[in-house]
Chains A and B, each alone.
Chain A
Amino acid sequence: MEWILEPWPWYVSGPLIAGIMFLLLFGGKNFGMSSNLRTMCTIGGAGKKADFFAFDWKSQRWNLVVVAGAIIGGFIGANLLSTDTAVIINSETVTTLENMGFESAGEAYLPAELFATDALTDPKSLIILLIGGLLIGFGARYAGGCTSGHAISGLSNLQLPSLIAVAGFFIGGLVMVHLLFPLIF
């Protein structure tokens, strides 16, 4: 059982993700995480500002419970199921990141330069995280889904809209990493 404390390989993780989608389908629901952001906006009173948020959020309560589970699962994964949380990425990627100023590459789960609690006092890190979040929230709702709704559920159902969305995800990601990162970092 030692393997469980190691990072899980793709051929274990991928099938488990498919399994989660099927568990939800057999539970009578669809796998989609970004719709929770809309639900949270509605709970916060956004329905007064835009009709998009005027819906009965209680029908989405089950998905908020999935969110609560994901938080607990993250705690378990990090604290009970891991001995070393460093992500061993390709050594070439490490070199690239070190040249960009990411000293924590290959030694941490997330880059300390962006995600360490004291990085929150750095306006640049704060703005990067905030803008990243803005794009995620705006883009996911505009596209009608995120990685779980489009790349997993939608593509599994061979839907053309999801293929277009996933192509968009990759265009955006490639532009960010290859064209914008050299300007940002």
Chain B
Amino acid sequence: MKYLKFLAIGILFGIVMYKSEAASWFRIFEMFRFESFHMYGIIGSALTLGVLGTWLIKKYKLKSIDGEPIKFTPKDKSFSRYMYGGILFGLGWALAGSCPGPIYTLIGAGYISILVVLFGALIGTFLYGVFRGKLPH
């Protein structure tokens, strides 16, 4: 059952997204109005530890549990795709109040209406796949 560990990680992720309130539309709105430190504290503390841990993994060339070196795949260098794509994503993040992870958390929490957001996200992904050749990257 090599997938069991990923199920456990997913469950932990779902619980953390719910209990941190990062899956709450209200928290996202409040963040973009700069009226609470909460979301900035979450992202900031995750990043501080993330930067430190990533540095340690590279410095000591740590291996995964399968004994493979831990790989970080660098993203392609570009400006336009990250800026344009980022802005579109940000518009959706604020409007629907959730990003791709919390969508699943909210399904589990029992919000049927979030399925509309998931449906929209699938259509959006599909449209990107169809039109990506015509977009500046």
Contact = CB atoms under 8 A, between A and B. Distances in A.
Contacts, number: 503
Contacts of B20: 7-8, 10, 12-14, 16-17
A37 B89 contact: no
A168 B90 contact: yes
B110 A78 contact: yes
Nearest to B132: A52
Nearest to A96: B33
Interface size, B (range): 35 or more
A136 B99 contact: yes
B45 A117 contact: no
A116 B120 CA distance: 18
A124 interface: no
B22 to A, nearest CB: 7
B101 A147 contact: yes
A17 B18 CA distance: 12
Given A74-B106, A161-B75, A162-B75, A68 B64 contact: no
A147 B108 CA distance: 20
A37 B108 contact: no
Most chain B CB inside 10 Å of its own CB: which residue of A23, A131, A138, A145? A138
A10 B86 contact: no
Contact of B130 (A13, A50, A174): A50
7 contacts: A26-B62, A69-B7, A69-B10, A114-B97, A134-B123, A172-B92, A176-B91
